[in-house]
Each structure stands twice: as C-alpha cells, then as structure tokens.
Amino acid sequence: MTDFKAIYYGSRCLIQHHDPYNPSEFLDVYRADGGKLPSDPDILRLFLRAVPVYINMPTTLFLFAPLAMIPWGAAHVLWMLLLAGCFTLAALLMWKCARGHAPGASLFLICILLANCELVFSTGRSAAFAISLCVVAVWCFLQDRFVYAGILCLAVSLIIKPHDAGLVWLYFLMAGGVCRKRALQTLVVTAALALPAILWVSNVSPHWMAEQRSNLSLTSAHGGLGDPGPDAISMSKPDRVIDLQTVISVFRDDPRIYNPVSYLICGVLLLTWSVRTLKLRFSPANAWLALAAIAALSMLPIYHRQYDAKLILLTVPACAMLWAEGGLIGWMALVVNTAGVVLVGDIPSVMLTLFLGNLHYGASGIIGQMLTVILMRPVPLILLVMAVFYLWVYLRRSVHDPEVGMAQ
C-alpha cells in the first residue's frame, strides 16, 4: 500500500500541523504512528524513493483527510474496498454502453482489464480511484443520467489526478452545447473543492509549492523514480513510466531532445483532435471515438505510469461500435484494443519484467535500440498506435457518418 501510505501519512501530517512536503517531518509522523523503516541503508534509500509522499497535490491530501483520521488498519481496508468497488462500477458502465453493439467483444476486453489490476489495488493507487470517477462521469454525461453525480465525480478526479482526467474534461469543453455546460459546472465544483485544500496546506506549510517543486525535481532527476531515461530505477519495475519520452530516450537520453520530440508528436495529434472536435457536431458515436483517441493520447505527452493507462477503459465502447460494423476497421479495432489491454495489464507486465531481467543485450546501434524499444517499451508504443488509430477513425467516420449513435 505504498501509494495510499503516502497519502494517508501526508494527510496525518496536515492534521497534526506538520509539513507533509518536508521529508523529515513526514517520517517523524510515520514513525510516531508505528511505521517502521528498513534497517538496511540501501533498502531504506529505495523505500524513500518509492514512497514519494511529498509530491501529491494539496487537494489529494485534503480529500483523503477523513480516512487519515481513523487507524491505518481500517483505513487501508476501506481504501481497497473503495478502489475495487469504483473500478468495477466503471467497468460495468462501459460494458453497458458497449453491449448493444458487441457484448461478447466488450466483455472480453473488460475482463482482461479487470483481471490485470492486482498491482493497482495492492499498492493502493489513487490513480485507479481518479480514473474510475472519470469513467463514471463520462457515462453520466453521455447517457444524461445522474448528471450532478457525474459533475462531482469528474471534479474529484481532476483534483486527484488532473493529468489523467484533464483531456477528458477538455473534450466536453470543446464539444459545445450541453457538454460544455457540464464542463464549466465541473470547473466550478473543482475550484470549490480546491480552494479550502490550498488554504489549509498553505497555512500549515507556507512554502509547499517550492518544496513540492524540489521534491519533483529530485524524483525526476537522472536515474530517479520519474526519469523517463533508460537508467531510471522504475524501468525495471512492472509499473514503469510510460510517456513517449521513454521511447525516444532509448535513442538519445537527453531531455533537451526527448522532451521536444515528444511534445511535437503529441502536440500535432492533439491539435488535429482539437480542431476536429471544435468543428464537429456532437453525437454519441463521435463522442466515444473522440474519447477513445484522447484516452490513449493523454498518457503520452507528460509523466504517467503504467497504472494510469487503465483509462483506456474508455476505448471499449468505440471498439465495440467498430467491431459490430464488421470489415477491416472492425478487426483492426479489436486487435489494437486487445493488444492495448494486454500490454497495460499487470500480469503480462510482471511476466515481461521477469523474462527480460534474465536477458543481456546491448542497446548500442540502431538494431539494439529498436529491440530495446520493442521489448522494454511496448506500452507507450501501443498507446501511440491506439491514439493514431482512433484519431484516424474519428476524422474519417465523423465526415461520413455524423449521426451514427451508440445504444443507450
């Protein structure tokens, strides 16, 4: 429960009027509550790098403060139940949207995704909660049911993981009409939730912004937990970093190279998607295609880890729609989606990590570098393929079939 442990004890720091962004104060609270640190210095360094408590947003610490008021034993069990319940609900809602077109294919994809979430739940990832709420909000908006609950869900998702839910919110803002109204209402609720959090944290830790930047710089430094380069410690773990920089850094491990190249590729795709969304009349079918493209694309420009890619749950309705229509595009959709849900899954990732851990090959030369990318960086590659595929279908189908709708 490393991720939830970071949030839990960070919130307890605030409750006890300690600075959660100060590592020493955080560890004092952690030890005072009975937390134990590894005695081995090397393991201790890895532990401290794997529990980056002090990089969470103030809104996350504020939101989970009620859980931090109860003992750890009960809090982490409640958190696991909440994660499992919310993610299962999100999966069921996506299957409900897709079953009118392809119940078997959609059930197949969702079952693979659900069966590969062990690391998400065992580490207590808050990303799973944010993604689940984001998916639930999409269902509420597109089905026009429980709209106010959807607004609250998307707002909470944004204050926990804005880099996961942000582009989904942007779609509703760009789609116009009622969708834009929902996006603006969500923005108001998000601001209302964020303001007291920022005031609370600023009162306890006046310099939290500078401390957070410092801690983020530490984790993203060369070889750090958030470094996209080949030498990062996370690259040998199942929940590795998956942004597009991890692919480009294999060829040139220089942030002055891999950052601009990643931003350029993703920026062109995002700009194309944005122009089409602004010009296109809203329909449920177009909405699912747009969301499928952006769910995959949102993982690539900036820092994301493998558990964030569970957001591709939003691609299932679009895949079911294309599969039901048959033809080459339908087969392409099923193959691309199947590859996506398998490669972002926890079990295949662990198997790949164990298998490749025994391999020894050089990354020098273009052949070695390409082999490294294919074997060690399959997730960003398949996400890029998914983003390009669904964007291509979004551009193509929206011109010819603007009124094709999803089953309610």
Tell me the mean pLDDT per 10 residues along the chain, length 408.
87 91 85 77 62 73 93 94 95 96 95 91 90 98 96 97 96 95 97 94 89 78 77 71 92 91 97 95 93 97 93 97 94 97 91 70 70 87 97 79 40
Kindly list the domain boundaries of the chain, sorted by start residue: 2-400
Q: How far apart are CA 214 and CA 206, in angstroms?
A: 15
Q: What is the pLDDT of residue 93?
A: 97
**pLDDT given at position 179:** 96
Distance CA 72, CA 4 (A): 10
What pLDDT score does 402 carry? 42
The pLDDT, as a whole number, for residue 83 is 94
**What pLDDT was estimated at residue 227?**
82
Residue 405 has a pLDDT of 39
Please give the pLDDT value at position 233.
64
Query: What does the pLDDT read at residue 80?
Result: 93
The C-alpha atoms of residue 75 and residue 68 are separated, in whole angstroms, by 7
Q: Is the pTM of this model over 0.85?
A: yes
φ, ψ at 305 (rounded to 5°): -110, 170
Residue 403's pLDDT is: 43
Q: CA–CA separation, 88 vs 11, rounded Å?
A: 27
Contacts of 250 (CB under 8 A, 6+ apart): 230, 363, 369, 372, 373, 376, 377
The pLDDT value given to residue 388: 97
